[in-house]
A and B are shown apart, each in its own frame.
Chain A
Amino acid sequence: MSNTQSMCTSFLGQLLTATHNFGTAPTRGTSAADTFKAALYVTTATVNAATTAYSSTNEVTGTGYTAGGIAVTNANAPTSTNSSATAGVGYWTPSANLVYSTVTLTTAFDTVLIYNSSQSNAAVSVHTFGAQTITAGTFTLTMPTNTTTSALLRLTTT
């Protein structure tokens, strides 16, 4: 046997469930899963890695769309899996597609922001796609398969 320098794979999964707190805040008052939401942004918005929280600035507007977007269905607990002595993956994917039903969004949009509405709307991830408009229709974002290589959110060690 020998020792190997690595991040612990269990830590990756625990990051996704807020087990560790290296700072002094926040103090979590519940063990329940947070509520996550998905908001759409127009092509002229600036939503990127520097985004820290949901904002209504440059969010899409239109018939059938409520500011803040839609709730993300979260029935999949985060998972962490070892791939070797030095590598592992913690991952999570919403358990249902994001569906904006019967909306009219005439200004082109190309981004969805996933954010935590239970924690001051803290930003989680930004996903971009080709510009779209919707007219009296449905916009669907199909979620990827929840695996180590395709999950929507992946924390990896190499």
Chain B
Amino acid sequence: MLVNTTKGEMDDSLLVKKKGSIDNENEYTTWVEYYLDDELVHRSAHVTLKKSPFMDLIAASMA
């Protein structure tokens, strides 16, 4: 598979791949990194937010 890198497209067989994830109450995030001779040449991340801000409206009593 070809990977876009800082050095152009490279075959992933030439690269060292690292993956990780974060899963907490706010988000689920995955990321992937590719290294060429210990140099980071590609990093992508995918964030899924679990919380969103919301607005609460109240009709006040006139009594």
| B and A form one assembly | yes
Residues of A within 8 A of B (CB): 5-7, 12, 102, 104, 125-130, 132-142, 144, 150-158
Question: Does B13 lie at the interface of the complex (its beta carbon under 8 Å from any beta carbon of A)?
Answer: no
Chain B contacts for A150, CB-based, 8 A: 52
Q: CB within 8 Å of A: which of B12-63?
A: 22, 26-27, 29, 31-33, 40-50, 52-59, 61
Q: How large is the interface on B (under 10, 10 to 19, 20 to 34, 35 or more residues)?
A: 20 to 34
Min CB–CB distance B4 → chain A (angstroms)? 5
A150 to B48, CA, bound (A): 12
Contact of B52 among A140, A151, A157, A158 (CB under 8 A): A151
Q: A-side binding surface: helix, strand, loop or mixed?
A: strand
Contact of A157 among B43, B53, B59 (CB under 8 A): B59
Q: Contacts A102-B4, A129-B27; is A135 near B52 (CB within 8 Å)?
A: no
Chain A contacts for B59, CB-based, 8 A: 5-7, 157
